[in-house]
Structure 1
């Protein structure tokens, strides 16, 4: 038997025993859900501030957020999504950030926030 015939036979054998691929579910977060917030979403909703009060973030139940830096008069808004203990932020200008919620502390980059 030639090498090419052996490889062809092995290929046919492998396709017969290979597991079927599973359906791939897109990694999307539906902002139009009308269900009640999950416990993780419920824990995230509210106003968060840094220890020095320099930054305030208001996370709303509709998936929108408003960020303020009162001393500078700066304001930003956008949307956020909760995936268990991770929060994904997207600002109106296109910037994105990842936050982590753990034991009552919201961490975004080097900043730490606590509920106001």
Structure 2
């Protein structure tokens, strides 16, 4: 077999792998999140408070949270994400925090929260 025939055969073979040679089908991604929250997200959703009641956190199903310190009259908002037992918080002013959910207790820094 001549070299030109080998190159021609390789060219035909490689053409089957070229990006334009296959039909393109649309991605099948459900952006509505119809499957509902994961078990970890379900465990995190709800109202949480410290033992002394000084801080209240409402973790909403839409990934938003509301934090209140009733005695100080302060409120904060932001968003959160759940990755298994870890929760990542980002406040509206840009602060970030890491929370851990273990055995019904949410720990954020030195603070411990229980479901209200």
Cα deviation, residue 74, structure 1: 0.1
Cα deviation, residue 61, structure 1: 0.1
Q: Which SS does the other structure have where 2:40 is aligned?
A: helix
Q: Which SS does the other structure have where 1:42 is aligned?
A: helix
Over 3 Å off, 4+ runs: none
Q: Which SS does the other structure have where 1:62 is aligned?
A: coil
Once residues 108 and 73 of structure 1 are traced to their aligned partners in structure 2, the CA distance between those partners, rounded to angstroms, is: 20
Once residues 32 and 88 of structure 2 are traced to their aligned partners in structure 1, the CA distance between those partners, rounded to angstroms, is: 17
Q: Give ranges in structure 2 of 5+ residues lacking alignment.
A: 1-30
Structure 2 length-normalised TM: 0.72
Aligned residue in 2 for 1:39:
39
How large is the Cα RMSD of the aligned pairs?
0.9
Bigger radius of gyration among the two: 2
Once residues 109 and 33 of structure 1 are traced to their aligned partners in structure 2, the CA distance between those partners, rounded to angstroms, is: 33
Cα deviation, residue 42, structure 1: 0.1
What are the residue-to-residue correspondences of 1:1-116 with 2, within 5 Å? Answer: 34=33, 35-116=35-116
